[in-house]
Every structure is written in structure tokens, then in C-alpha cells.
Structure 1
């Protein structure tokens, strides 16, 4: 639970919103909703965020990415000029905190101990999360009554937002309300982040390489996406249970 101290309501909302956009790279979920943010303090133009992660041995590259993203996100909030990230009870907290504070890379924080780059790892997790978001959108479309042939034929322009609500257009031009608005917005955002075709005439459903999903492969693609979702959900549940255990409470 986030503890807001010394902040006014408007600043609180801005900081909360910014942190809610920071994701656990593996789970593709908000660090706020996962319960990783333990405290947020504002002193003048400096924000200090304390993270408590599920285990003492959480992978340092994952932790570094979250800490780096926190700093970047909060520096976008008006009035914030400095961000300090504290990592509670983690074996590499000192090295990560110092690197984030000084603007050094992960490789510089752990010289001789890393292979590959965080950019490559981040992109791999983005692609993995893309499948999860796509499956959530597929599920929302199926719940709204769209058949596999209709979904495979849909274009980006067939998703329309009006007065804060999302609609999907059928082949005959009729509009159907899509209840899961978050599924649409998260899918479109990740699709843009991956640089996939964003033209209105582009197929709505693309694989991670930007290829349309043919109808004959749709069910198989759906099964593989469901497997990815189940794995990620299981990991998220485990992380939350471990975190609750660390805090001495129930998940």
C-alpha cells in the first residue's frame, strides 16, 4: 500500500498515476498493483520511493529496470526534479540504488558480472507481454460475440473510441460495445511500443513479427497465447504471495 506523506491531493494523484505506469518487466503488471511500492515521500522537489520486492534474491536486472523506470516516470511529473529509489531488504540494493542515483548503467553497476544488455532483455519481455495483452483483447472480443473469422478480418480502424468508451465494428457496419476498455488500451499501447504497423487499414491481430494471424492458425495461436497468460498469472500470484509473506500478511 502506498503511503503518501507531505503531499497535496493533486501531487499525490500525479505521483500515483506515474508509478502505476511502471511495470514489473517479467509480469507486465503495475508495481503499484502488485504491492511493490512501500512508501512514497515528497520533500520539496525530491521524491523518494521505497520498493519492497517479493524476495531478498529477486534478479538484480529486473530490479534495476524497475528502479530506472521509476526515476524516469517521476521526473516527468511537474515539479519533480530529483528521484531517489530505495530498495528494502535486497542483496544488491546498495549497488542498484547508487547506479540509479548517479545515472550509471546496469553494466557499470555490476562490472564483469553481466552478459547481454538490459535493452535486449526489456524488448524480450515486451514481446512476451504483447501476447498476454493480445489474448486479453481476443477474450474481450469473443465475449462481445465476435467470431474467429470476424476477428481475423478486423482492421485497426474497426476499433473506435467515443466518449471514453470503446466500440468494435462488425463487417456490416454495426458497432458493439467492448466492456474491457483496459484490454484495448493496453494492447494498442504495447503494439505501438513494439513498432508494429499502426495504420488504420492494418489487421487488428498481428503476431510479434508483424504478420497477420490467418484464420486457419487462429485457434492454435489462441492456445499458445493462453499458455503464456497462465504462466504469467502464476508467476504474479507467486510473487504476491511471497511479498505478503515477507510483510507478515495475507496475499
Structure 2
């Protein structure tokens, strides 16, 4: 991947703009893998020209990655980059994908997924992607619960103790920060006083239901890990990256 300032030497302000673009892209994530497009190496290039227009090119592991996921990432990248101070415009495109033309036109026109796919060779879309986004955020919540709670259980916390814990009782970590974010995205309270283990509707999970809930949470995290490994390998093979580049 690359990110740079085009056509003139970068001064400190130019570098700050580029840095803000980079950080904005880190807020964009693959909905299935629950990881950001920068860490996944899905940013093929990100450049800012002399007119302070950001040009972002996104790539995916395969030519036939699901168009709904691809649309979400392109749209989110456009929205995130558009908030960066110091830019006059943004230009975000997906490359090397069978639905790239339809997705890029639709996102640029703010047309929505259904309208963007209508009449294209990609096929008709049945509905917009809000429901899909929520479903994968709920899965991310479950997977995140596993990452936070499993170490506590391994350290000796009993089911009764885990069921009684609040978010403030859990050790501070990146996984806990991510779990709080996913809860907020779902409209679930995420303060220190709120229960640590809740279901995707926000209801506290009691001690009797806890073992099954945690087994489900573990299965979601195993799925995320497996799919992430597959996607990293496919991306590395497709673009001739080393395993370090694609991780």
C-alpha cells in the first residue's frame, strides 16, 4: 500500500493532511472480519494531489468478493475520508473487482445499494444494507465478548463472577475498547457500570445462560480468525505480497 502527497514536496501541513486521511481510513472496517481496511492491507493506494483531492484505491482478496460487503467498505471509506480537514474533495474507488464499476458509480452518486445494482450485470439487490451491517456488528459483539471474557475465565473467574461483572471490572485493553465501540454502535450501554456480558439486544446474560452464550461467542471469534487468515492469504497471493505485508 502507499499513501503520499503528489506533485510537490510535502510541508508539515501537507503531511498532517495525509496523516488524517490515513487515520480516517483506519475507521473503515471489513464488516465480516471486524478489522480495518488499513490493517487488512485493503488500501492499494492513498494519495493527495496538489488541489488537495484525496485519491483512495481499495482492493479485496478476490475478484468475486461479495458486492454488498464491498459496497459497504467503499461507501464507508468515502464517508470517512470526506470528514478530513484540509481536503477539497475525495475520490474513492474499488479496483480489480467484478462489480467495481457499479459500486464506484453508486457510491459516488450516493445512490444506495439497491439503486446502484439495478439494471447492472451484477444483478438486482433486494434491500439496502442496514440490516446486514447490524447483523455483522452483532457478530462482532459476540466475538469481542469472547476476546474479553475468555482470558478472565482462564484466570479463574467463575460463571457466577463473570455474570456479575461490569465493563469496569474487566482489565483495560484494546479488545475491551473495541467491545465498547460495538456496543455503542448497536445502541447498547457501554459505561463502566453496565454488565460485561450482554446479548446482541443488550440484555444481561445470567449465570444459567452464560456457558452456552460464551460457547457461541467463541464460535464467532473462531470464524473471524479463520476468515481473516484465508483473506490475508488470498490477498497475498493475488497481489504478490509477503505474509508480513498482508498482516
Given the two structures, how large is their TM-score scaled by the length of structure 2? 0.86
Q: What is the alpha-carbon root mean square deviation over aligned residues?
A: 1.9
Aligned to 2:2: 2
Aligned to 2:178: 186
1:154-169 residue pairs with structure 2 within 5 A?
154-156=165-167, 158-159=168-169, 168=170
1:64 aligns with 2:75: no
Aligned to 1:22: 28
- Structure 1, residues 82-119: CA drift from partner, whole Å, max 9, x if none? 22112221111111111111221111111160112211
Instruction: Name structure 2 gaps, 5 residues minimum.
Output: none
Aligned to 2:213: 221
Aligned counterpart in structure 2 of residue 13 of structure 1, from 6, 19, 29: 19
Aligned to 2:162: 151
**Matches of 1:210 and 1:2, distance apart in 2:** 40
Structure 1 stretches of 4+ moved >6 Å: none
**Matches of 2:88 and 2:199, distance apart in 1:** 40
Aligned counterpart in structure 2 of residue 75 of structure 1, from 76, 82, 94: 82
- Structure 1, residues 175-206: CA drift from partner, whole Å, max 9, x if none? xxx36x11111001110110113465432211
Tell me by how many angstroms 1:52 deviates: 1.3
Instruction: Name structure 1 gaps, 5 residues minimum.
Output: 160-167, 169-177
**Matches of 2:18 and 2:152, distance apart in 1:** 35
Are the aligned partners of 2:166 and 2:195 in contact in 1 as well (CA < 8 Å)? yes
**Matches of 1:199 and 1:87, distance apart in 2:** 37
1:108 aligns with 2:119: no
Secondary structure in structure 2 of the residue aligned to 1:107: helix
Aligned counterpart in structure 2 of residue 91 of structure 1, from 98, 102, 120: 98
**Matches of 1:50 and 1:226, distance apart in 2:** 34
Are the aligned partners of 2:2 and 2:46 in contact in 1 as well (CA < 8 Å)? yes
1:230 aligns with 2:222: yes
**Matches of 1:141 and 1:13, distance apart in 2:** 36
1:122 aligns with 2:133: yes
1:42 aligns with 2:34: no
**Matches of 2:155 and 2:176, distance apart in 1:** 13
More strand by share: 1
**Count of residues in correspondence between the two structures:** 232
Secondary structure in structure 2 of the residue aligned to 1:150: helix
Secondary structure in structure 1 of the residue aligned to 2:202: coil
